[in-house]
Amino acid sequence: MDLEERVARLERNLKVVIVLLVVAILLIAFTFLRLANLEALRVQRLEIVDGQGRVLILLGRNPFGQPVLIVHDTAGRQRFGVSLDEHGDAMVSLWNAQGQEVATMGR
């Protein structure tokens, strides 16, 4: 498999992961709202944590004030993120197990 095929495959897989994450977060929020019998849940930052309190999924804002979704591993390191840059363009970032950014797609 050449590099172009690998990049295309990675992009397809990332799109699937993004869609699944967004659907999962919406389902969690919808379930919470139904269980709490609330009309709306308004927060500036939503953290989904494990049993030890480590953040697994963060939904909030980046330094530009744009929405951001970041997925952490069980050690607390960022692994995958979706955000908007200062121009409002979508950005996808990947980090390796050492916490180093290995890929950014977008602008």
The reported pTM is: 0.62
Would you kindly state where each structural domain of the chain is located, as residue ranges? 3-105
Distance CA 78, CA 101 (A): 9
- Model pLDDT, residue 41: 66
In terms of residues, how long is the chain? Answer: 107
Q: For each of the chain's 107 residues, which pLDDT tens digit applies?
A: 788 888 888 888 887 788 788 778 877 777 776 766 666 667 888 888 888 888 888 889 887 788 888 988 888 888 888 888 778 888 888 888 888 888 888 76
Torsion of CA 40, 42, 45, 50, to 10 degrees: -40
CA 43, distance to chain mean position in Å, is 17
